[in-house]
């Protein structure tokens, strides 16, 4: 008698036998709250693709290009995302910009699309950075039901290597490349208790990037809504957190632990030489002249 087998378990794929004894030993691959920390060598991209492909998921990405940022960075960001970001999956990139006419034409593969949304220009870069949460919140309210996951990414960055379904989770944070060797007392959290982004001494897990985060729509919506509300309440009290939305994001991730943590491979900085544990740089912030690109 032949037993029934669920179709999703019928793998014809051949792949290397997994081991719980061998693997990366130079880095930590799980947090104390049991969220995976994604490093090269901890996952099999072919296996993961074969699991996710039948699910027919859609991934949205938001990117903001306001002021001088669009002309300078958008082309590279969009072109390299075509080469590396969720290749073979349905991807919808949303560009928020005050220069819609200058958005470069980039050829996108089947199943991938770009939507440009006009936003007002702003005098202060801190304000541009801060208003991202508000726009992400609003976008998610429109997208619900049509999209499964969303990533919010900095435009002054480029993809260099595979960024795919291994990064998916309900709430996903990326460890900042600048501080992961440091004691938490040195993390640039907001340290004034009057701010809603405050993280007390002795608290905080990692220092996460404001330049890349994501997850399921509902989770990212709650994050964006909370960070926006806290930012605005702070503004009413005349306080702006040390690193604007990045500070609020870090405060949020302290009380709402991410379900997946991406290693600094997922947001390196071009000016930093690569550390031995970083076997691949998938995405990195480009070197920029702050005086040139920031309005003031």
Q: Using CB under 6 A, which of 128, 175, 249, 267 touches ligand U5P?
A: 128
Q: Using CB under 6 A, which of 35, 65, 217, 220 touches ligand U5P?
A: 65
Contact region with ligand U5P (CB under 6 A), list: 29-37, 151-159, 191-199, 254-262: 151-159
Q: Does 38 bind ligand U5P (CB under 6 A)?
A: no
Tokens of 287: 């070197």
CA angle 254, 44, 19 (to 5 degrees): 90
Question: What is the set of active-site residues?
Answer: 246
Q: Does 294 bind ligand U5P (CB under 6 A)?
A: yes
Sequence-distant (6+) residues with CB within 8 A of 7 are none
Tokens of 23: 């693997």
Give which of 59, 69, 62, 89 is closest to 210, Cα–Cα.
62
Phi, psi of 13 (to 5 degrees): -70, 135
Q: Would you say 156 and 288 are in contact if contact means Cβ atoms under 8 Å apart?
A: yes
Q: Using CB under 6 A, which of 154, 205, 219, 265 touches ligand U5P?
A: 154
Q: Does 250 bind ligand U5P (CB under 6 A)?
A: no
Closest CB 260 distance from ligand U5P, rounded Å: 22
Q: Does 152 bind ligand U5P (CB under 6 A)?
A: no
Closest CB 31 distance from ligand U5P, rounded Å: 25
Closest CB 48 distance from ligand U5P, rounded Å: 28
Q: Would you say 173 and 262 are in contact if contact means Cβ atoms under 8 Å apart?
A: yes
What is the bridge-based pairing of β-strands 208-216 and 268-269? unpaired
CA distances from 225 to 214, 221, 275 (A): 14, 6, 35
Nearer to ligand U5P, 184 or 294 (CB): 294
Q: Using CB under 6 A, which of 60, 61, 66, 175 touches ligand U5P?
A: 66
Rg (CA), the chain: 20
Tokens of 74: 């958008």
Q: Does 77 bind ligand U5P (CB under 6 A)?
A: no
Q: Does 89 bind ligand U5P (CB under 6 A)?
A: no
Tell which phi-psi region holds residue 289, choosing left (phi > 0), alpha (psi between -120 and 50) or beta: beta
DSSP code at position 182: S
Q: Does 69 bind ligand U5P (CB under 6 A)?
A: yes
Q: Does 148 bind ligand U5P (CB under 6 A)?
A: no
Q: Does 156 bind ligand U5P (CB under 6 A)?
A: yes
Q: How far apart are CA 207 and CA 189, in angstroms?
A: 8
Closest CB 41 distance from ligand U5P, rounded Å: 29
Q: Does 67 bind ligand U5P (CB under 6 A)?
A: yes
- Give the footprint of ligand U5P on this chain (CB under 6 A): 64-67, 69, 125, 128-129, 154-156, 294-295
């Amino acid at each position: 008698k032949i037993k029934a087998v669920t179709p999703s378990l019928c793998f014809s794929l051949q792949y290397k036998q997994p081991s719980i004894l061998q693997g990366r030993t130079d880095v930590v691959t799980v947090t104390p709250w049991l969220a995976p920390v994604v490093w090269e060598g901890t996952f099999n991209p072919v296996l993961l693709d074969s699991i996710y492909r039948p699910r027919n998921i859609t991934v949205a990405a938001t990117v903001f290009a306001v002021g001088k940022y669009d002309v300078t960075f958008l082309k590279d960001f969009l072109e390299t995302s075509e080469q590396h970001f969720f290749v073979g999956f349905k991807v919808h990139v949303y560009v928020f910009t005050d220069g819609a006419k200058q958005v470069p034409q980039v050829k996108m593969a089947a199943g991938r699309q770009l939507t440009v949304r006009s936003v007002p220009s702003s005098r202060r870069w801190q304000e541009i950075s801060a208003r991202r949460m508000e726009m992400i919140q609003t976008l998610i309210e429109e997208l619900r039901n049509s999209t499964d996951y969303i990533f919010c990414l900095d435009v002054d960055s480029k993809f260099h290597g595979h960024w795919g379904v291994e990064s998916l989770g309900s709430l996903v944070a990326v460890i900042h490349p600048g501080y992961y060797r440091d004691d938490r007392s040195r993390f640039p959290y907001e340290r004034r208790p009057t701010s809603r982004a405050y993280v007390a001494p002795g608290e905080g897990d990692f220092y996460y990037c404001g330049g890349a985060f994501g997850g399921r729509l509902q989770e990212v919506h709650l994050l964006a809504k909370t960070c926006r509300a806290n930012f605005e309440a702070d503004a009413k009290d005349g306080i702006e957190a040390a690193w604007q939305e990045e500070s609020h994001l870090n405060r949020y991730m302290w009380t709402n632990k991410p379900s997946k943590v991406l290693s600094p491979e997922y947001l390196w900085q071009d000016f930093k030489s690569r550390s031995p544990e970083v076997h691949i740089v998938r995405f990195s912030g480009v070197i920029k002249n702050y005086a040139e690109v920031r309005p003031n």
